[in-house]
Structure 1
């Protein structure tokens, strides 16, 4: 803002009153609304704090109900255990033995184990696709080698213009 050179007493008093009026309006606003502002600030600060959940202590397992004694049992029935659901299939013993042969620094041990394990198809390593990325390559089978077509008219060398970047467009470069 440019400095005004024609400041007389009347203009000085005007600016003095404006400054005092603004100062009083700020003090009045602070007196009215400061308590609400502080409450909002406290609410925002408490929302940012991590939520602490109460700790749950393990409870004693409930005792199974007593079996009725009136029915005679035929014999000890084998207890059927639920199979442990694992994400990966078990590793072959020959592949697992690679872990214990040599060290990774000499391209043996863990290095050789991981390279051997990497060669297996995902369907052989995992029971089911774990992530969505697995679905792209799941059960595709071995890769099929495709032969290149020897026709030069069918093959596109690159996606750049054949006649330079700043030259007029060639009708063959346009996609219609």
Structure 2
């Protein structure tokens, strides 16, 4: 490398350094502000804690007017969405292991048999409203009429054959 080439690289290096200093002087404060905003966005959001308020007692009802209240709701804690689990059902959790169809497996299958309105205070999701308070399922017996039953969806004689009376459901 000769002197001419060395001077060229020296000037290039100094020019680049000056450009960087000018850019930093011009845009440095904006970059720092953006970095602070990103750092603040990464911090977890802290929500204020709400003090639990005691439920307000209802105003006294005059004795002359009989009050018609809906079905009495069993007492449950205000923070829970579910009724408390009966102790006999809760004991199933600690009896055996799920691998042997005991423990948690048996507990969940027992809970599944209860109706939702006996487990939850109110419908939690909109899907709950479809089956809320329908009562026990009703079995419908199939009618054993030979005329109403079709053995198969397809025609027995092929797609383009004339219709056979046995293929029709009348």
TM-score, normalised by the number of residues in structure 1: 0.47
Larger Rg belongs to: 1
Q: TM-score, normalised by structure 2?
A: 0.48
